[in-house]
């Protein structure tokens, strides 16, 4: 059972973290120990390749965390390869049309829901090929996350989020502001309107909006607004913030 999907289907908020730099086998279990429910290993902007992704996914076995992967591009075929490694979900960047969203779902689901290629008795099924029931269960368990991060994506937002099989529509906030011509202006009315539009569209079609807020205050604000798949910053941001705060605390203590 994919607890990430199950909790979202019940209307709950699910917490995790995006990992771009700290690709140690302990990072997934450490996040689980900190109360996180999912981890997304980033192959788009992080230093993760397919071999490293395989090791990171395997390292999550035995913990409660749900390992997922952000692939570099929707044209990196087959994007289902990370599922064969054991990932429980796939995040795909730069989704701008319904046709792209439909193709992503098709690549990640076995027939009759899609066209995912079949390889059994490998990492994703722990080297034990199952019976015919495996395919429907795998389709049910696989989380599909599309990132909407351009003006074109928001022009087609309702068409994208209404595609059957999508579980999360994720706000690509930096890219969207660049696409809008308002780089990193996250308090701009046009960006805030897009955030509201994403929540509204996701509610209408019964899926979850996702976001990576940079601070606890930002996370609380957007959860109250309706976002339910939440990356608590990234590994880089949280580590830097934690070390800076620790350092400031030490300096303040010395000066007392």
45 catalytically annotated: yes
Give the model's pLDDT for residue 155. 98
| Distance from C-alpha of 74 to C-alpha of 101, rounded to nearest angstrom | 9
Tokens found for residue 234: 């990234």
Task: Please report, for residues 8, 81, 108, the alpha-carbon distance to residue 77 in angstroms, rounded to integers and kept in the order given.
Answer: 28, 8, 11
Helix (H) or strand (E) holding 209: strand 208-211
- Rounded Cα distance between 250 and 256, Å, is 10
pLDDT for res 131: 87
pLDDT in the model for residue 58? 97
Asked if 16 contacts 30 with a C-beta cutoff of 8 angstroms, the reply is: no
Q: Which of 45, 140, 221, 247 is the catalytic position?
A: 45
CA distance 182 to 194: 13
* Planar angle of CA 168, 170, 174, nearest 5 degrees: 175
Enumerate the domain spans of the chain: 3-255
| pTM (global) more than 0.75 | yes
Buried b (16+ CB within 10 A) or exposed e, 201-239: bbeeeebbbbbbbeeeeebeebeeebbbbbbbbbbebbe
Digitized pLDDT (tens) for each residue of the chain, 256 residues in all: 899 999 999 999 999 999 999 999 999 999 999 999 999 999 999 999 999 999 999 999 999 999 999 999 988 778 999 999 999 999 999 999 999 999 999 999 999 999 999 999 999 999 998 888 999 999 999 999 999 999 999 999 999 999 999 999 999 999 999 999 999 999 999 999 999 999 999 999 999 999 999 999 999 999 999 999 999 999 999 999 999 999 999 999 998 7
Report the largest interatomic distance among the alpha carbons of the chain, rounded to a whole angstrom: 68
The per-residue pLDDT for 99 is 98
Q: Out of 3.40.50.300, 3.20.20.60, 3.40.50.150, 3.40.50.2020, select the CATH number for domain 3-255.
A: 3.20.20.60
The pLDDT, as a whole number, for residue 78 is 86
Quote the tokens at residue 237: 């941001």
Our separate counts of H helices and E strands in the chain read 12, 8
pLDDT of residue 229: 98
**Which CA distances in Å does 96 have to 29, 59, 253?**
34, 33, 51
**DSSP SS3 for 96:** coil
Distance CA 60, CA 5 (A): 17
């Amino acid at each position: 059972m994919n607890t990430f999907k199950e909790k979202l289907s019940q209307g709950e908020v699910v917490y995790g973290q995006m990992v771009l730099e700290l690709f140690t086998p302990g990072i997934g279990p450490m996040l689980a120990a900190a109360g996180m429910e999912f981890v997304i290993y980033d192959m788009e902007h992080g230093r993760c390749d397919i071999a490293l992704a395989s090791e990171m996914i395997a390292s999550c076995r035995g913990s409660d965390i749900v390992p997922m992967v952000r692939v570099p591009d929707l044209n990196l075929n087959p994007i289902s390869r990370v599922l064969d490694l054991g990932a429980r979900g796939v995040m795909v960047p730069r989704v701008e049309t319904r046709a792209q969203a439909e193709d992503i779902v098709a690549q990640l689901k076995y027939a009759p829901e899609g066209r995912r290629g079949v390889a059994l008795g490998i990492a994703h099924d722990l080297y034990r090929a199952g019976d015919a029931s495996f395919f429907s269960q795998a389709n049910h368990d696989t989380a599909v996350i599309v990132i909407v991060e351009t003006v074109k994506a928001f022009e087609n937002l309702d068409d994208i989020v209404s595609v059957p099989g999508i579980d999360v529509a994720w706000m690509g906030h930096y890219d969207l502001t660049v696409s809008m011509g308002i780089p990193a202006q996250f308090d701009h009315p046009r960006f805030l309107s897009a955030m509201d539009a994403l929540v509204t569209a996701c509610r209408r079609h019964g899926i979850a909006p996702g976001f990576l807020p940079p601070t606890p205050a930002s996370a609380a604000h957007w959860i109250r607004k309706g976002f339910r798949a939440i990356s608590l910053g990234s590994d880089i941001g949280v580590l830097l913030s934690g070390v800076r705060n620790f350092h400031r605390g030490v300096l303040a203590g010395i000066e007392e």
